[in-house]
Amino acid sequence: MEKIRHCIIRPHNPLKLLSQQEVAGLAASNKDTMGLFRNCALAILNTDSQEDDATQVLATFADFDIQLIPQSRGLTLEIHNAPAQAFVGGKMIRGIHDHLFSALRDIVYTAFIVNKAAELHFDNSEDITDAVFRILRNAEIVRGDVEPNMVVCWGGHSIPRQEYDYSKEVGYRLGLRGLDIITGCGIGAMKGPMKGAAVGHAKQQIKDGRYIGISEPGIIASESPNAIVNELSIMPDIEKRLEAFVRLAHCIIIFPGGVGTVEEILYLLSILMHPDNEQKIPLILAGPDSCQAYFDELETFLVITLGEQVKGFYQIIIGDPIAVAELAKNNIKATHQYRKEKQEAYYFNWPLPISHALQAPFIPSHKNMANLALHSQLQPHQLATNMRAAFSGIVAGNVKAFGQKQVAKHGPYALHGDRQILSAIEKLLQSLIRDKRMKIVEHSEHYTPCYSLHSTN
């Protein structure tokens, strides 16, 4: 793997949040904070890589190092053994350069401001939401001067060409309608809508199009930012990342994907099906004609586990990218009207109730996975919350460094629950394996499960 042995970079724009004490404090901070920044920095420098194994990325660049050099005017970054693909003509690509300082900004702000704010208590839902808002505001992603136009696009990062082309075509149609895109910032169904929207914006001579990427330290190495992202934010964990998406969204489109995409769908349905929620988040499930079976199997799983009423919380469109974009535009108009009538903020969905069970970080240890209640006696929103955690654990076991280490040390995660629920989960997982939407180990054509299912009835 070709590497750039040494370089020094400075921010193009001042890092407004960094005082002299903060710069000095970060340079002298504990190993965890600097280790977190190192891993995020490596992922950013690995932008547009096709490698989706965090452990492999870290191993390949084990000699990568990044150090902060405090100066009176701010700081510089000294980098050793960086991926060569981040450079052109010996200079770091401008977008990647800026993303490095975005990651630094978010990690500093979380470590030195949010986590130490005396008025915030993370056992309280309102305070967690406030922390999410503060991080996004500090990153200037939350803007009060724009009307609703944010479409969140979710979907798989490793998808067939026809699905990528479809997501790009949908993005193009969204861009023609002046809509901005938020994704998880990776490749595949996260890159396609941004790339398409960029062309749509260019045709409409929209020069300030926004392509917002939101990631978190545990996933960024396996889903490095794509080259279209022009605003990047690193949230502290997956739960705050998911909350950031739904608080910013005016409409959500979900393309086909693997377990991570199912996790996102369950997260949304847990919110939408909660009895305290009176709001609607416009949700569209969309894919090319070749994905008819995918959505049939997904919907069968959702109906078996959450009941027939689940169909009322989303719309499925197969093919017809123009119809997807038109529906998204109409949904955003309805969202705009609703918030205007209720005198609610356009830029951040404050009133949306999100339970603490969805906000508290779920650590995919073997004990926590085994203790998840997957029973039909639960209310649908509660079961969706627990299934979301189960799929989050499977994502960790597949691609996150922590989960991979846990599975390597202790074996597959054990999930326990009703036979009907587990059977539906297993059938869906097997369909994802069949379609190669699950992590395949390099040099192998077979998926090695990081989970096992055990019926309690």
> What CATH code is carried by the domain that includes residue 56?
3.30.1850.10
Whether residue 352 lies inside any domain: the answer is no
Whether residue 331 lies inside any domain: the answer is yes
Whether residue 128 lies inside any domain: the answer is no
pLDDT in the model for residue 324? 98
State the Cα–Cα distance between residues 440 and 428, nearest whole angstrom.
17
Note whether 184 and 329 are same-domain residues: yes
Note whether 293 and 172 are same-domain residues: yes
What residues contact 451, with CB distance under 8 A and at least 6 apart?
A: 369, 393, 394, 397, 412, 413, 414, 415, 429
State the Cα–Cα distance between residues 42 and 85, nearest whole angstrom.
12
Whether residue 150 lies inside any domain: the answer is yes
Q: What is the pLDDT along the chain (457 residues), one digit of tens a residue?
A: 789 999 999 887 655 446 666 666 666 666 778 888 898 999 999 876 666 666 777 788 899 999 888 766 667 899 999 999 999 998 999 999 999 999 988 987 787 777 777 778 888 999 999 999 999 998 999 998 788 999 999 999 889 999 999 999 999 999 999 999 999 999 999 999 999 999 999 999 999 999 999 999 888 877 789 989 999 999 999 999 999 999 999 999 999 999 999 999 999 999 999 999 988 899 999 999 999 999 999 999 999 999 999 999 999 999 999 999 999 999 999 999 999 999 999 999 999 999 999 999 999 999 999 999 999 999 999 999 999 999 999 999 988 878 989 999 999 999 999 999 999 999 999 999 999 898 655 545 678 899 999 998 8
Note whether 332 and 202 are same-domain residues: yes
Note whether 294 and 180 are same-domain residues: yes
pLDDT in the model for residue 74? 63
Instruction: Name the domain boundary from 309, 342, 375.
Output: 342
Could you give the C-alpha distances from 178 to 174, 209, 238, 332, in angstroms and in order?
Answer: 7, 8, 29, 11
The CATH code of the domain that includes 314 is 3.40.50.450
Note whether 82 and 229 are same-domain residues: no
Whether residue 131 lies inside any domain: the answer is no
Whether residue 407 lies inside any domain: the answer is yes
Q: Say which amino acid occupies 140.
A: E
Buried/exposed 266-276: b ≥16 CB within 10 Å, e otherwise? bbbbbbbbbee
Whether residue 30 lies inside any domain: the answer is yes
Strand partners, 82: 4
Note whether 162 and 298 are same-domain residues: yes
Note whether 203 and 273 are same-domain residues: yes
Note whether 289 and 428 are same-domain residues: no
Pairing relation of β-strands 150-154 and 251-254? parallel
Q: From the CB of residue 145, how many other CB atoms can be counted at a distance below 10 Å?
A: 6
pLDDT in the model for residue 95? 92
Note whether 338 and 364 are same-domain residues: no
CB contact at 8 A, 169 and 317? no
Instruction: Name the domain boundary from 316, 342, 368.
Output: 342
Note whether 148 and 257 are same-domain residues: yes
Pairing relation of β-strands 251-254 and 231-234? unpaired
State the Cα–Cα distance between residues 376 and 305, nearest whole angstrom.
7
pLDDT in the model for residue 443? 46
pTM across the whole model: 0.92
Instruction: Name the domain boundary from 342, 375, 398.
Output: 342
Residue 337 CA to its chain's centroid (Å): 28
Whether residue 135 lies inside any domain: the answer is no
Note whether 373 and 323 are same-domain residues: no
The residue range of the domain holding 174 is 143-342
Domain count, the chain: 3
pLDDT in the model for residue 17? 47
Note whether 148 and 112 are same-domain residues: no
